[in-house]
Structure 1
Amino acid sequence: MRWRKSTYSSGGDGDTCVEIAALPTRVAIRDSKAPTRATLSFPTPAFTALVDHLKAGDPAPPLG
Protein backbone atom coordinates (compact mmCIF):
# COMPACT_ATOMS: atom_id res chain seq x y z
CA MET A 1 0.00 0.00 0.00
CA ARG A 2 1.11 3.53 -0.68
CA TRP A 3 0.51 5.62 2.45
CA ARG A 4 0.33 9.40 2.57
CA LYS A 5 0.09 11.83 5.46
CA SER A 6 -2.35 14.64 5.81
CA THR A 7 -1.10 18.08 4.86
CA TYR A 8 -2.36 19.11 8.31
CA SER A 9 0.19 16.85 9.99
CA SER A 10 1.88 18.72 12.81
CA GLY A 11 4.88 18.27 15.05
CA GLY A 12 8.58 18.38 14.36
CA ASP A 13 8.70 15.18 12.34
CA GLY A 14 5.08 15.17 11.21
CA ASP A 15 4.11 12.04 13.09
CA THR A 16 1.05 13.34 14.95
CA CYS A 17 -1.45 12.53 12.28
CA VAL A 18 -3.21 9.78 10.43
CA GLU A 19 -2.14 8.35 7.12
CA ILE A 20 -4.39 7.04 4.37
CA ALA A 21 -3.91 4.59 1.52
CA ALA A 22 -6.31 4.33 -1.39
CA LEU A 23 -7.30 0.76 -2.26
CA PRO A 24 -9.43 -0.31 -5.22
CA THR A 25 -12.75 0.00 -3.34
CA ARG A 26 -11.75 1.15 0.15
CA VAL A 27 -9.62 3.69 2.00
CA ALA A 28 -7.26 2.39 4.69
CA ILE A 29 -6.35 4.55 7.68
CA ARG A 30 -3.54 4.15 10.21
CA ASP A 31 -1.89 6.07 13.03
CA SER A 32 1.34 7.62 11.77
CA LYS A 33 2.90 7.22 15.24
CA ALA A 34 2.36 3.45 15.10
CA PRO A 35 2.39 2.45 11.42
CA THR A 36 2.92 -1.26 12.10
CA ARG A 37 -0.20 -1.56 14.23
CA ALA A 38 -3.68 -2.35 12.97
CA THR A 39 -5.37 -0.29 10.29
CA LEU A 40 -8.99 0.57 9.66
CA SER A 41 -10.60 0.55 6.24
CA PHE A 42 -13.82 2.03 4.99
CA PRO A 43 -15.68 1.85 1.68
CA THR A 44 -14.51 4.76 -0.47
CA PRO A 45 -17.95 6.44 -0.65
CA ALA A 46 -18.29 6.39 3.16
CA PHE A 47 -14.82 7.86 3.65
CA THR A 48 -15.44 10.55 1.02
CA ALA A 49 -18.75 11.49 2.67
CA LEU A 50 -17.02 11.81 6.06
CA VAL A 51 -14.26 14.04 4.66
CA ASP A 52 -16.81 16.22 2.85
CA HIS A 53 -18.85 16.50 6.04
CA LEU A 54 -15.80 17.55 8.06
CA LYS A 55 -14.66 20.06 5.42
CA ALA A 56 -18.08 21.68 5.61
CA GLY A 57 -17.41 22.36 9.29
CA ASP A 58 -20.26 20.19 10.47
CA PRO A 59 -19.90 18.17 13.65
CA ALA A 60 -19.14 14.50 13.14
CA PRO A 61 -22.15 12.49 12.06
CA PRO A 62 -23.68 10.17 14.66
CA LEU A 63 -22.48 6.58 14.72
CA GLY A 64 -24.86 3.79 14.03
Structure 2
Amino acid sequence: MTTLDNWQKSSFSGSGDGNNCLELAATPTTLHLRESDTPTTVLTTTPAALTHLLASIRQSSVPTAQSGVTPPALNPATSLFSS
Protein backbone atom coordinates (compact mmCIF):
# COMPACT_ATOMS: atom_id res chain seq x y z
CA MET A 1 0.00 0.00 0.00
CA THR A 2 1.26 3.47 -0.87
CA THR A 3 2.04 5.76 2.05
CA LEU A 4 -0.05 8.90 1.82
CA ASP A 5 1.80 12.01 2.90
CA ASN A 6 -0.37 14.71 1.37
CA TRP A 7 -3.22 14.85 3.93
CA GLN A 8 -5.13 18.12 3.83
CA LYS A 9 -7.30 19.41 6.67
CA SER A 10 -10.57 21.24 6.10
CA SER A 11 -10.24 25.01 6.36
CA PHE A 12 -13.30 24.95 8.65
CA SER A 13 -11.35 22.95 11.25
CA GLY A 14 -9.25 25.78 12.64
CA SER A 15 -5.50 25.87 13.05
CA GLY A 16 -4.92 23.72 16.14
CA ASP A 17 -3.63 20.16 15.88
CA GLY A 18 -6.13 18.97 18.49
CA ASN A 19 -9.21 19.76 16.42
CA ASN A 20 -11.41 16.90 15.27
CA CYS A 21 -11.75 17.24 11.54
CA LEU A 22 -11.99 15.46 8.24
CA GLU A 23 -8.74 15.05 6.33
CA LEU A 24 -8.36 14.18 2.65
CA ALA A 25 -5.50 12.76 0.61
CA ALA A 26 -5.64 12.02 -3.10
CA THR A 27 -3.87 9.80 -5.60
CA PRO A 28 -4.50 9.95 -9.35
CA THR A 29 -7.40 7.46 -9.09
CA THR A 30 -8.59 7.46 -5.47
CA LEU A 31 -9.59 9.69 -2.57
CA HIS A 32 -8.74 8.81 1.01
CA LEU A 33 -10.71 10.25 3.92
CA ARG A 34 -10.02 10.03 7.64
CA GLU A 35 -10.89 11.76 10.89
CA SER A 36 -7.99 13.46 12.61
CA ASP A 37 -8.79 11.76 15.92
CA THR A 38 -8.58 8.27 14.32
CA PRO A 39 -5.95 8.64 11.59
CA THR A 40 -5.36 4.90 11.20
CA THR A 41 -8.92 4.37 9.93
CA VAL A 42 -9.04 5.45 6.29
CA LEU A 43 -11.99 5.31 3.90
CA THR A 44 -10.92 4.91 0.27
CA THR A 45 -13.19 5.75 -2.65
CA THR A 46 -13.13 7.10 -6.20
CA PRO A 47 -13.96 10.69 -7.13
CA ALA A 48 -16.99 9.52 -9.16
CA ALA A 49 -18.46 7.47 -6.30
CA LEU A 50 -17.98 10.28 -3.77
CA THR A 51 -19.55 12.76 -6.20
CA HIS A 52 -22.56 10.45 -6.55
CA LEU A 53 -22.92 10.11 -2.77
CA LEU A 54 -22.71 13.86 -2.18
CA ALA A 55 -25.22 14.58 -4.96
CA SER A 56 -27.62 12.06 -3.40
CA ILE A 57 -27.21 13.69 0.01
CA ARG A 58 -27.85 17.14 -1.46
CA GLN A 59 -31.01 15.83 -3.13
CA SER A 60 -32.03 14.10 0.13
CA SER A 61 -32.33 10.75 -1.62
CA VAL A 62 -30.05 8.99 0.85
CA PRO A 63 -32.05 7.53 3.76
CA THR A 64 -31.21 9.05 7.13
CA ALA A 65 -32.39 8.52 10.67
CA GLN A 66 -34.14 11.90 10.53
CA SER A 67 -36.18 10.83 7.49
CA GLY A 68 -37.62 7.88 9.39
CA VAL A 69 -36.24 5.46 6.80
CA THR A 70 -33.80 2.85 8.02
CA PRO A 71 -30.88 2.42 5.61
CA PRO A 72 -30.08 -1.13 4.54
CA ALA A 73 -27.42 -2.96 6.49
CA LEU A 74 -23.96 -2.71 4.96
CA ASN A 75 -22.11 -5.81 3.96
CA PRO A 76 -18.53 -5.34 5.26
CA ALA A 77 -17.24 -7.37 2.31
CA THR A 78 -18.39 -4.67 -0.14
CA SER A 79 -17.32 -1.07 -0.43
CA LEU A 80 -19.81 1.62 0.50
CA PHE A 81 -18.48 3.74 -2.33
CA SER A 82 -18.06 1.20 -5.11
CA SER A 83 -19.62 2.36 -8.33
TM-score class, shorter-chain normalisation, is 0.5 to 0.7
Inter-partner Cα distance in structure 1 for 2:27 and 2:35: 17
Residue correspondences, number: 61
Q: 2:35 aligns with which of 13, 31, 35?
A: 31
Inter-partner Cα distance in structure 2 for 1:8 and 1:38: 21
Runs of 4+ in 1 over 4 A off after TM superposition: 59-64
Counterpart of 1:41 in structure 2 is 44
Cα offsets for 1:15-61 (capped at 9, x unmatched): 211101111111001111122x121101111112334455x474646
Structure 2, unaligned stretches of length 5 or more? 64-70, 75-83
Higher RCO (CA < 8 A, seq sep 6+): 1
Structure 1, unaligned stretches of length 5 or more? none
TM score, norm. by length of structure 1 = 0.63
Q: Over alpha carbons, which structure has the higher Rg?
A: 2
TM score, norm. by length of structure 2 = 0.52
